[in-house]
Amino acid sequence: MADNTTLPAQVTVIGHPLVRHKLTLLRQVGTATSEFRRLAREISLLMAYELTRDLPIELTEIETPLEVMQAPILAGKKLCIVSILRAGNGIADGMLELLPSARVGHVGLFRDHETLRPVEYYRKLPEDIGDRLVIVVDPMLATGHSAAAALALLKQAGATQLRFACLLAAPEGLEVLTRAHPDVPVFTCAVDRQLDERGYIRPGLGDAGDRLYGTK
């Protein structure tokens, strides 16, 4: 694993014991598709808690069964979760359990296995994305090129408040992403050792999309 003390300041490793425990179960080769999907959803919900701990609040007047009071509620427009297809949906679904009112956008990117560069094939975003906090999700930050490309597309679409969340990151991917977007906070559950010659994270957990949807 990478030494977290050497990570860029914008990178947060979520070290909650429940996250670490569930991630270990998620990594195991014998974890069935249904269990993998459930664990990914549970970890994502816990990640959403960490990503949103500084959301702005305001006071509103409510009436309890006993009296009227000033109570805190979220301020401003609801946030937006943007999934990098297809594997990002496994993270977005978990976050939506905690944030059911969030808007959802999708960016379709696939990795060219020769160049390891992203190729866009789909994009659908809320029209007012520039007014919302946008959480971009993808289970794996490997080479970092897809995440960097997705963030660039969102900035072009008007997004100004961006955060990126993943289950696992490689040092190489973090370097690419933080260099391309030094203004975007990055949240991950672990930083693994390195990429292999195929661009897979080691020790990693395999192909997140295939394991989420049972396609391999």
Residue 207 known to bind ligand: yes
- Angstrom distance (rounded) from CA 44 to CA 162: 17
Residue 201 known to bind ligand: yes
Residue 131 known to bind ligand: no
Known catalytic residue at 210: yes
Catalytic residue, from 38, 52, 131, 210: name it: 210
Known catalytic residue at 37: no
Residue 16 known to bind ligand: no
Residue 53 known to bind ligand: no
Catalytic residue, from 20, 38, 52, 111: name it: 111
Residue 214 known to bind ligand: no
Closest-CA residue to 104 (of 119, 114, 89) = 89
Known catalytic residue at 115: yes
Q: Which residues, other chains included, contact 208 with Cβ-Cβ below 8 Å and sequence gap of 6+? A: 40, 87, 90, 139, 140, 167
Known catalytic residue at 207: yes
Residue 165 known to bind ligand: no
Residue 111 known to bind ligand: yes
Burial tier of 165 (Cβ tally within 10 Å: 0-12, 13-18, 19+):
buried
Catalytic residue, from 5, 6, 64, 115: name it: 115
Binding-site positions read 86, 111, 138-146, 201, 206-208
Residue ranges of the binding site for uracil? 201, 206-208
Active site residues: 111, 115, 207, 210
Binding-site residue ranges for 5-phospho-alpha-D-ribose 1-diphosphate:
86, 111, 138-146, 207
